[in-house]
Structure formats: structure tokens, C-alpha cells
């Protein structure tokens, strides 16, 4: 049976990717898409490749929070800035309406009442929860890079990250200003970043995160430095990653370090560049992903599929 999905905050970069994915999904339809800036305009005009599925009638709307429960969506994706989700969730609670809610912000990633939806690592913990918190983009890459070695770590993990400026959203700032980013690499939030706290909490192990913004639009890379409690041979370390992700279609393990320029528009995470120090007690791993896709919209679709008992890869282009 087809399920309807509403998107709150559809004007942003991730919202646009969600529209494309849901419009192309065999079992989902778009119930509504909200955007104050685009209110009244036809959604199909912005997505001509999906116009047949979207239809001519669907227009961007701007419902008040208290109107959301009356729109009848089976699932609602909140693609809002941090700090904006609670009012939407409260409206559903007040109305006694209980759709599946997937929140893409950080607002519920520290709430044990919400399922933390990184399926490759938390799938076994999904027991039908209707409130799902989508992991952060960097947090997804960092956790996938660290987990296979988690039981062998000897101290804090350091992750050096570089993202395209789409990760800074659409509200104007230095971090998404192409002129200020040209020929530049901009560090920010070098301690206590929300993704640093998120990953440390999820792994139960300290991760230190050093994020930067680069001049490219989309795609991120992290280089993870893992101190090890004993000496490893490279083949032994790599085998852990190959074995851990052998059945995960959205995680690719390779030999060479992945390039961020090759991940744009792709739906998976690439892990590679495995390098051990001469004594074998320090492993460096590189991970890349498209921050708008596996870092946000694709992962949200995985979680929606999981919530409705569908094939987790349904609607995700191969």
C-alpha cells in the first residue's frame, strides 16, 4: 500500500534531494512540501524529471505547526535547522496524531526516546519506533570509519573533516559564501561540535572532531586517526572493515583513499586509504560521502523504508 510523506522545510538543499527520492520511490507519494519562500509555486516546475510522479496539483505550502497533523501524511520528514523541530513534534503530540516522524536536525539525537537511525549500525535496535532521529552527515562517516576497530582502540580518535559548503545550509554565512571560500579552507567549531558529541555518545568512546569547509558544493571527507591497543597487520585491520560491511550495499570498502570529488551524487559511503604506522598501533582511515545524500536524504529514506517494513534500499538508485 502506498504511503504518503510530507516534508517540512523543503526549500533547502536536503529538502530538494528528499523530493527527488520520494518522487522516485515505488511505494511513497508526496503528501505536502512546505516552504515559506516558494509558497504557492508548483513543485513539479522545480523537478521536471519527476513531474509525472509529482503531478501538476502539488504546490509548496506554508502550514502553521498546528496545521501539520491535519494534513494526513503517513510520515513527516523535518528538514529544518537545529532548534526548530520541537514545535512541529509538539503539534502532533497535542493533536494525538502519530505519523512516523524523521527529524534531520540534531534536536533528538541525544534523546533515548527516539530511534537513532544509522541503519548499518543500529538496525537491530529498531523495534517499530515512530520517532526517528537521522544522524548527522559527518557523524555517519565517522562512526562507519571507527566501528570495526572500536574494541581495539587505546585512546581518543581524532577525525579531520572537510565538507562542501552545502553543509552550511542556505542561510547566508561565511561558511557558504563562495567568494570567501575561494582558494580557502575554513576551520570552525574545533571543539565541542555537535557531531563530536553525537559520535562520542553513540560509540561510548571519545572522538575529537576538527571540521573545515572547502570551496566545493557537496561531498565530505574525514580522515580518522585511530590509536590501537595492540599491533595490527594491515591485512588484519582491512579484513575487519570488509567483514563488517560485506552485506551493506551503501558502504564500499576499497584499498585506495577515496576522493571526495568522486562521491558527489552517490548514495553510499566509501572507506579506504587504510594506513598503519610502522609499529602497527596507529591506523588511519579515510571516509567520503555526499553530505546531502547518505549524510541526510538517502539515510532518511532508508529509515522510512525501515519504518514501513519495506526493502531498505527501495527507491535508492543503485
- Cβ of 317: how many Cβ atoms within 10 Å? 12
How far the first Cα of the chain sits from its last, in Å, is 23
Question: What letter would DSSP give residue 161?
Answer: E
Distance CA(116)–CA(132), nearest Å, equals: 6
Indicate which residue of 19, 106, 137, 199 is catalytic. 137
The separation between CA 86 and the C-alpha centre of its own chain, rounded to angstroms, equals: 19
Closest CA to 211 of 114, 296, 291: 291
Sheet holding 100-103, edge to edge: 60-61, 28-34, 3-8, 75-78, 100-103, 131-133, 115-116
- C-alpha closest to that of 156 among 287, 279, 282, 277: 282
Q: Which residues contact 151 (CB under 8 A, 6 or more apart)?
A: none
Neighbouring residues of 192: CB distance < 8 A, sequence distance ≥ 6: none
Active site residue 137: yes
CA 239 vs CA 25, 244, 246: distances in Å: 34, 8, 10
Please identify every residue annotated as catalytic.
Answer: 137
Amino acid at each position: 500500500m502506498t504511503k504518503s510523506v510530507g516534508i517540512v522545510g523543503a526549500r533547502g538543499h536536503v529538502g530538494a534531494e528528499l523530493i527527488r527520492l520520494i518522487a522516485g520511490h515505488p511505494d511513497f507519494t508526496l503528501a505536502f512540501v512546505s516552504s515559506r519562500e516558494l509558497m504557492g509555486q508548483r513543485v513539479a516546475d522545480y523537478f521536471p524529471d519527476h513531474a509525472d510522479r509529482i503531478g501538476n496539483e502539488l504546490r509548496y505550502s506554508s502550514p502553521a505547526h498546528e496545521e501539520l497533523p491535519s494534513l494526513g501524511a503517513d510520515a513527516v520528514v523535518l528538514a529544518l535547522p537545529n532548534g526548530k523541530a520541537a514545535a512541529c513534534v509538539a503539534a502532533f503530540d497535542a493533536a494525538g496524531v502519530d505519523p512516523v516522524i524523521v527529524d534531520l536536525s540534531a534536536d533528538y539525537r541525544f534523546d533515548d526516546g527516539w530511534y537513532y537511525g544509522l541503519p548499518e549500525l543500529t538496525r537491530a535496535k529498531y523495534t517499530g519506533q515512530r520517532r526517528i532521529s537521522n544522524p548527522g552527515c559527518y557523524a555517519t562517516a565517522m562512526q562507519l570509519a571507527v566501528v570495526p576497530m572500536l574494541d581495539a582502540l587505546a585512546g581518543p580518535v581524532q577525525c579531520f573533516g572537510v565538507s562542501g559548503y552545502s553543509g552550511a545550509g542556505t542561510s547566508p554565512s561565511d561558511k557558504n559564501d563562495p567568494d570567501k571560500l575561494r582558494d580557502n579552507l575554513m576551520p570552525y567549531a574545533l571543539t565541542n561540535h555537535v557531531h563530536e558529541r553525537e559520535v562520542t555518545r553513540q560509540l561510548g568512546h571519545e572522538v575529537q572532531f576538527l571540521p573545515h569547509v572547502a570551496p566545493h558544493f557537496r561531498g565530505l571527507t574525514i580522515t580518522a586517526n585511530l590509536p590501537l591497543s595492540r599491533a595490527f597487520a594491515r591485512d588484519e585491520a582491512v579484513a575487519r572493515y570488509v567483514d563488517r560491511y560485506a552485506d551493506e550495499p551503501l558502504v564500499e570498502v576499497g584499498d585506495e583513499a577515496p576522493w571526495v570529488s568522486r562521491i558527489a551524487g552517490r548514495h553510499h559511503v566509501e572507506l579506504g586509504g587504510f594506513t598503519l604506522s610502522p609499529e602497527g598501533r596507529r591506523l588511519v582511515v579515510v571516509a567520503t560521502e555526499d553530505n546531502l545524500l547518505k549524510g541526510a536524504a538517502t539515510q532518511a529514506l532508508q529509515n522510512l523504508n525501515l519504518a514501513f517494513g519495506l526493502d531498505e534500499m527501495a527507491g535508492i538508485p543503485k
